[in-house]
Amino acid sequence: MLAALNELNPQQRAAVEAIEGPILVLAGAGSGKTRVITTKIMHLMDLGVHPYRILGMTFTNKAAGEMRQRVAKTLGENAARDLTLTTFHSFCARFLRKEIGYLDRETNFVIFDSQDQKTCLKRVIRELHIPEKRYPLDRLRALISKYKNKRGGEGVTLNEAEQEVYQAYMDEMHAQNALDFDDLIAFTCDILSQFEDCRERYQRRYQYIMVDEYQDTNPIQAELINLLLNQDRNLCVVGDEDQSIYGWRGAEIRNILDFDHNYPGARIFKLEQNYRSSQRILDYANDIISQNQLRKHKSLWTEAGLGRPISLRTEQNAIAEAEFIVQKILTSSKAENLAYHQFAVLFRSNYLSRVLEELFRRYQVPYQLIGGLKFYDRKEIKDLLAYMRIVVNPRDWTSFSRALGVPSRGIGAKSQDALYSLFQSGLDVGQILKRVIDHSLVATRTMKGIKAFAALYEKMRQWSETLKPSEWLEHLINALDYLEYLERTDEVTADSRADNIRELQASMVEAERQGILTLAQFMDQTALVSDQDELEDDKPKVNLMTIHAAKGLEFHTVFVMGLEEGVFPNQRSLDSHTQALEEERRLYYVAITRAEKQLFLSHARRRQTYGTTTANMRSRFLSIPLRTYDDSGPEPVLEKKKVKLDNLASQLERMKAQLKQQNVDVNFETLSPKPAKAVRLRPGDVVRHQKFGTGTISSVRGNGDLQTISVYFPGQGVKKLLASKAKLEKVHDRPGF
DNA sequence: TACGATAAACTTTTT
DNA sequence: GTTTATCGTA
């Protein structure tokens, strides 16, 4: 029998030993989910199931890699190699490289990321003469994605114009032989559902299917799993509905909530013992999440002690907040001998990281920012990859157009339009170049650049037949004199960009070591990396990331910052309906449960957004009290920044002296150390409005005549008012915090 | 056609 | 306050 089984608790063990039929494992945060999945895989193999017949779907490549390693450690490299353990997207990419012929398409397709998608969409709506103002690219892209992910389910409908854009976009993608992220999964489903022979092949192969993070699957992914499942229905899904945080990109929390309904006879296991956090952190997390309606009952407990109090910090502005965090890390790491990578700072949105980065740099605390701009999204990398992609897929107009312009060859918009009409008539990159040269279709000045490009293109194709990817790249960089180009265009950033290119080469060498020997294979990797894949967890650096990026991770000490109305929960969720707010609350729950030993919550009274200062009320999440305990442990700490009274008092003294000198007649007794501005409105203040009645200020934004004030009027919702226009009369100050 | 200067838009969250 | 779009000039 597998020894690892004995190391599990009874619930975990039951979940592992249940093998046949549909199984749902509701695994609370920190309940040893990864361990259950890996042990289950090993248990199956121990029972004689060949690893080739096991399919495990994870959320990130990193998670897949870690699981594979654990298996390899116990059962050896060979066993681990034969497992299919990947993300949905990687699985489908590999599937389609083999099987996309069923749909009468070519296997050398490229995968478009959101950036490429938008470039492509831009072309499309320009051709359709649809005003970009009314249909912003981002919105269209998100809409198309949602539409595909829901697969004709309820919720997403397209109006006439949107329908037209969708159709034209699909045609354009087809013409460019490109697939977007959603297509990868959609096309896989199409093939499996339409072609029985193909479906049977895969169904026969995979006897046991496991899906991690099931709460974040969308309808199309659920469909894919269904199509792969044979009549034995050996499906084990693991997840936690309380950690469902991807509803906005089409994830369907119902997939996990209704699992037993969708798969009759399903057995359900709950893992509620937490091995990560202290009791106090778990109690707080339970208090928060129990406010949600949309969930199955589950409550985390631990054998670990009560632990340290959770701390809540109020600062006057975002800079002070960041400073508090950095200082806390400095003192705490020293006092408790903690390495920097045991700390994480979590925030709702990427832009919040800016202030943090500044202070980490100023105090010279090493950090790594996860997410934001990805490595493969950097301009210099995308430039070089564009060349690579047209070699693999000569119909990738988006990349062709990009490559033509960097470094600049004197081929401008006008010439590009001429080339594009050739593309529309069905020619690929090689044919377009040939036609232009043979028929002198552009001005002589431009022709020089075209000829040079054509010569380079021919060479790149030859290199790709004989050279390894890393060598191919080396040749390309030399041919383009790309490093010189970087130096010429921006000498400030040239060095770091050159570093990135070296890193790209290094990652190619590493990929080659793992058996990736063609440009096409390498391309797929670059398209499908996730934020977490980029995390270096062995280096002593403080981790800064969005809460989404922190999913599945854990840290000794966690800071959750920016706990303000409009920031977290963010404005959009407040503007829409309770479902969105529940997801925000789950997000907060995820944030809290990342912490093992210490949890610091913080918010700032004022914060710079766009160019203006905004004052927000503290987050509603903070209205759930941090529990107090009767035991001897210290009370939960409310750290308020002390207003420096001495300072204010001395200011007052100075003012008095000045006034006396000027012989101004004032009653000094009534002067208070508070600023004397008559009507200063702050979040929390209760005000009266002529039309709307009495309400509470939720945020104050900007200054002077342009100052806008958001007021919550019960029954009428939040109104945005211009301070100079709306005569707001203060009823009373905000109650003390 | 390329590059600079100025103006407008912009912030969810991501495979 | 920062990035992207557009316009005018060499």
Q: What is the DSSP string of A681-713?
A: --TT-EEEETTTEEEEEEEEES-GGG-EEEEEE
Q: What predicted TM-score, i.e. pTM, was given to this entire model?
A: 0.88
Query: How far, in Å, CA of A722 to CA of A731, rounded?
Result: 18
Q: Which of residues 29-48 of A touch strand B (CB under 7 A)?
A: none
Instruction: Kindly state the average pLDDT of the residues A6-29.
Output: 94
Q: What is the pLDDT of residue A89?
A: 94
Q: What percent of chain A has pLDDT over 70?
A: 91
Q: Which nucleotide is nearest to A353 (CA to C1')?
A: B11
Length of chain A: 737
Instruction: Report the DSSP pairing between strands A542-546 and A343-347.
Output: parallel
Identify residue A603 by its one-letter amino acid code: H
Q: Is the CB of A348 under 7 A from strand B?
A: yes
Q: Are A29 and A275 in contact (CB under 8 A)?
A: no
Q: What 3-state DSSP class applies to A605? A: strand
Phi, psi at residue A412, to the nearest 5°? Answer: -95, -170
Q: Is the CB of A613 under 7 A from strand C?
A: no
Q: Are A146 and A139 in contact (CB under 8 A)?
A: no
Query: How far, in Å, CA of A111 to CA of A523, rounded?
Result: 8
Q: Which nucleotide is nearest to A133 (CA to C1')?
A: B9
The residue with greater pLDDT, A371 or A309, is A309
- The one catalytic residue in A295, A348, A497, A594 is A594
Q: What is the pLDDT of residue A608?
A: 87
- Which has the minimum average pLDDT: A140-149, A342-351, A622-631, A710-719? A622-631
Confidence of residue A705 (pLDDT cuts 50, 70, 90): low
For residue A466, list its beta bridge partners.
none
* Whether the predicted pLDDT of A43 surpasses 90: yes
- The one catalytic residue in A99, A182, A183, A213 is A213
What Å value separates CA A443 and C1' B2?
Answer: 16
Query: How far, in Å, CA of A228 to CA of A205, rounded?
Result: 9
Phi, psi at residue A658, to the nearest 5°? Answer: -60, -45
CA atoms within 13 A on the CB side of A438: 6
What Å value separates CA A565 and C1' B8?
Answer: 27
What Å value separates CA A476 and C1' B3?
Answer: 26
- Give, as ranges, the nucleotides of chain C with any atom within 7 Å of a protein CB: 1-2
* Whether the predicted pLDDT of A630 surpasses 80: no
Query: How far, in Å, CA of A545 to CA of A587, rounded?
Result: 13
Query: How far, in Å, CA of A165 to CA of A77, rounded?
Result: 48
Instruction: Kindly state the average pLDDT of the residues A139-163.
Output: 81
Q: Which of residues 317-346 of A touch strand B (CB under 7 A)?
A: none
- Give, as ranges, the nucleotides of chain B with any atom within 7 Å of a protein CB: 1-3, 9-15
Q: Is the CB of A48 under 7 A from strand C?
A: no
Q: What is the pLDDT of residue A122?
A: 85
Q: What is the pLDDT of residue A673?
A: 41
Identify residue A19 by its one-letter amino acid code: I
| Vertex A555 angle, CA A558 and A256, to 5° | 95
Dihedral angle sign, alpha carbons of residues A16, A227, A295, A280 = positive
The closest of A182, A254, A249 to A215, measured between CA atoms, is A254
The residue with greater pLDDT, A152 or A312, is A312
Is residue A33 among the annotated active site residues? yes
Q: What secondary structure letter does DSSP report for A59? A: S
CA A590 to each of CA A240, A562, A603: distance values in angstroms, whole numbers, following the listed order: 10, 15, 18
Q: What is the pLDDT of residue A295?
A: 87
Q: Which nucleotide is nearest to A545 (CA to C1')?
A: B13
Q: What is the DSSP string of A143-186?
A: HHHHHHHHTT-TT----HHHHHHHHHHHHHHHHTTEEEHHHHHH
Confidence of residue A639 (pLDDT cuts 50, 70, 90): low
* Whether the predicted pLDDT of A256 surpasses 90: yes
Instruction: Kindly state the average pLDDT of the residues A213-235.
Output: 94
* Whether the predicted pLDDT of A28 surpasses 70: yes
What Å value separates CA A74 and C1' B14?
Answer: 33
Q: Is the CB of A611 under 7 A from strand C?
A: yes
Q: What is the pLDDT of residue A653?
A: 58
Q: What is the pLDDT of residue A649?
A: 53
And the tokens for A496?
A: 């770091």
Q: What is the pLDDT of residue A587?
A: 96
Query: How far, in Å, CA of A598 to CA of A310, rounded?
Result: 7
The residue with greater pLDDT, A381 or A658, is A381
Is residue A243 among the annotated active site residues? yes
Confidence of residue A221 (pLDDT cuts 50, 70, 90): very high
Q: Are A333 and A339 in contact (CB under 8 A)?
A: yes
* Whether the predicted pLDDT of A643 surpasses 50: no
Q: What is the pLDDT of residue A129?
A: 79
Q: Is the CB of A664 under 7 A from strand C?
A: no
* Whether the predicted pLDDT of A190 surpasses 80: yes
Residue A126 has a CB neighbour count (10 Å cut-off) of 10
- Which has the minimum average pLDDT: A340-344, A424-428, A544-548, A628-632? A628-632
The closest of A271, A323, A289 to A40, measured between CA atoms, is A271
Is residue A34 among the annotated active site residues? yes
Confidence of residue A550 (pLDDT cuts 50, 70, 90): very high
